[in-house]
Structure 1
Amino acid sequence: MALGIFGNGGERGRGDRNDRGGREATRAASSISLRMVVAMSGITAIGLVMLVVGVILGSRHEFSEHGIDPNTVNTAASIMQGTWVIDIKKAILFIGVFGVCIILATGVVGWYFSRREIAPIQEAMRLQRNFVADASHELKTPLAVIGARTELLEHRLKAGRPLEPVIDDLKDDVTRMNDVINDLLLAATSALENVPTDVGKAVEDAVDSIRLLADSHGVTLDVMLPGGGSGHDAPVIVSGGETGIRRCVVAVLDNAIAHSPAGSSVEVRVAAEHGQAVVTIRDHGPGLGDDPERLFHRFSRAGGGSDHQGYGLGLALARDIAVRYGGWIEAAPTAGEGTTMRLTIPLAH
């Protein structure tokens, strides 16, 4: 039932977005048309004034060439009476140049208003493409975990072992996936979930959600949380959303597991330092190369040191989430091989 409701909601959401996109395009087209009419009217009026002025000045010049003092002639009255003098060749040249200027001015005005009105549509399309890419990437890891759990369920079924623990885990996976979707939608509306969140609990949940994936890669997750021997008995609390922080940690863990050799470990630590909640995640893979900062850009991938080839979104999404909560994530200097990611978020006041 829940999946059916989600599917219908997705269809309604896509329909609403399509309707909004259509209305936005219609509004932009109408606005461009209106602005073009106003601009053309203004250009035409200015052009007519310039044409009349040009004719008057040209007529005064012709009076001077014919030995008539233009100051003794009412040029405007002469033109109205039809007794005016003008050089036809110069008039044709003037009208031609004037017409070209009008055409160029119209083109420039049309280009300007078109760019101005289409810019919001282009931005909306960019955001929509980013949302689709982000959602696809964010759902990839939960789906991989669910796939691994179904295989485990199949093995337990064949072996006649209890299925309830795996079924409970599957329910938790579906709940987490639903939380991820809701958090993505929340981020897409630029809304910010600002509630006291225990970073240790969010990290623990993230580790539990991805542990089966780590096991399938032969990677051990070594976790040290506040109160677990780290020297910090009090929980580490920040103002943010547990789902968002969990998404951030899962993205980094997924990247670390994918680049870690079998038989290695990934260490996860949570601590409070200088008014910041600090989460460090260290793997023993090939490292990030000479320019780790570029991997935080969308669709940027690591070098050839690993067989894993992702889409280059995980670390970029992790940084987006960290920034959303006033924090930051970066690759910390590491002695020797491997990579250490350091996530910092301001502690709640």
Structure 2
Amino acid sequence: MSSSSAPHADTPQLRRAAITVAIRIAAAIALMVIAVIIAAAIYMLYLSHHPDVSATDTSTRVYVESNDMLKAMVVAGFAGIVAAGAIGWLSARSAIRPLGQALELQRRFVQDASHELRTPLTILDARVQLAQHKVDPETDAARLLGQIRVDTAALSATVQELLLAATGGGGAPAEPVDIAAVVEDVLADLGDMASSLGIRLESVHNGAPPARILSNSLRRAVLGLVDNALNHTPRGGSITVSTGKAGHTALISVTDTGTGISGIDRTRVFDRFAHTTEPSEGGRRSYGLGLALVREIAVAAGGTIEISSTGPHGTTMILTLPKAR
């Protein structure tokens, strides 16, 4: 592999994987060697206590002390185990090398894509600012331009997260986030889309504590949940996003009035491109990447995402996050 920063970020994981594979190979061969030694030792002890077994054989024999034979077998077995470990290590390194190359290519792609997106986003934000200066601040155009700036900032933050992940950087530590404020921002961003679909968005806040998660990551998770609800809620329906707490966790629940989830196991809904065998009222069969990304965000933050209930009258999904200390 090359000496760029991408493969170096994966070197510890690849080395651990190679060592794990080598240990397993060596352990398997060692067990076989030990089994052979034990079987041979048992057979020798049996012959030493039953010399009459081969008494009819008159061919020339060379007698060796059983202790010497056992010592020789132990030495040979130890050498075999060491050789097995060396062979396992070389085999593991050879098997892991293509994986390292694939990870390097993946990191390079994410790095290049993230880097190339940063400049257009910066230019877009600058142009939106110029447009804001040319319109009346009290008009709908000014409001829409302000929302575009917020969306651009969120997209820029997402690109930065991807770049940090590709370079192996940990990024900024998670700060306490007001989940109610994030929910309101997301509902405001999706308000126009919901109106065009004839769906009502509502929010209910029950004193949820601050959560320990990156603000942009939380925004993406809530956006993914509400967007999924919009895709599966018919015209005239409603979506309610509630925040609250349970013990040491903060809760966000998204309840829609869709037709519910059917034709697929609940645990598979959060898989990438999960499909149902029964289309909803809108004819949708796939859940795409949205819910899968929500689960990844939740797990990375130490939380969970699950389907609390689903049926003909709607579905409720609950996102739990660690409470900030």
Counterpart of 1:172 (choices 150, 157, 161) is 150
Q: Find the residue that maps to 1:194 and give its secondary structure.
A: coil
1:271 aligns with 2:251: no
CA distance in 2, matches of 1:18, 1:162: 53
Query: Quick one: distance in 1 between partners of 2:273 and 2:105?
Result: 17
Matched residue SS, 1:296: coil
Tell me by how many angstroms 1:173 deviates: 2.0
Q: Provide closer, same or farther for how the CA distance between residues 114 and 194 of structure 1 changes in structure 2, counting only shifts above 3 A.
A: same
Q: Aligned partners of 2:228 and 2:187: how far apart in 1?
A: 13
Match of 2:31 in 1: none
2:265 equivalent among 291, 294, 302: 291
Equivalent position SS for 1:211: helix
Q: Is the 8 A contact 1:322 1:329 kept in 2?
A: yes
1:54-95 alpha-carbon deviations (Å, 9 max, x no partner): xxxxxxxxxxxxxxx9x9xxxxxxxxxxxxxxxxxxxxxxxx
Name the residue aligned to 1:207: 187
Query: Do residues 337 (structure 1) and 313 (structure 2) align?
Result: yes
Secondary structure of the equivalent of 1:163? helix
Distance in 2 (alpha carbons) for counterparts of 1:220 and 1:265: 4
What SS does the aligned partner of 1:333 have? Answer: strand
2:230 to 257, 277, 280: 257
1:239 Cα deviation after fit: 1.6
Structure 1 position 191 matched with structure 2 position 146: no
Structure 1 residue 179 displacement after superposition: 2.2
Give, in whole Å, the separation in 2 of the partners of 1:283 and 1:327.
Answer: 22
* Helix, strand or coil at the partner of 1:270: strand
Is the Cα–Cα contact under 8 Å of residues 6 and 108 in structure 2 kept in the other structure? no
Q: Which sections of structure 1, spanning at least 5 residues, go unmatched?
A: 1-16, 29-68, 72-106, 140-145
Higher normalized contact order (CA 8 Å, seq sep 6+, divided by chain length): 2
- Who is 1:248 aligned against? 221
Normalised to the residue count of structure 2, the TM-score between the two structures is: 0.59
Q: What CA distance in whole angstroms lies between the structure 2 residues aligned with 1:348 and 1:217?
A: 36
Give the Å deviation of 1:292.
Answer: 1.7
1:335 and 1:308, CA in 2 relative to 1: closer, same or farther beyond 3 A?
closer
CA shift, 1:207, in A, is 1.5
Q: Which residue of 2 aligns with 1:326?
A: 302
Asked if 1:308 corresponds to 2:281, the answer is no
Q: Say how many residue pairs are matched.
A: 229
TM-score, length-normalised on structure 1?
0.55
Cα distance in structure 2, aligned partners of 1:338 and 1:22: 46
**Offset from partner CA, 1:191-212 (integer Å, 9 cap, x none):** 2631111111111112112222
RMSD: 4.0
Structure showing greater Rg? 1
**Code of the aligned partner of 1:177:** L
Q: What's 2:26 paired with?
A: none
The one-letter amino acid paired with 1:261 is P
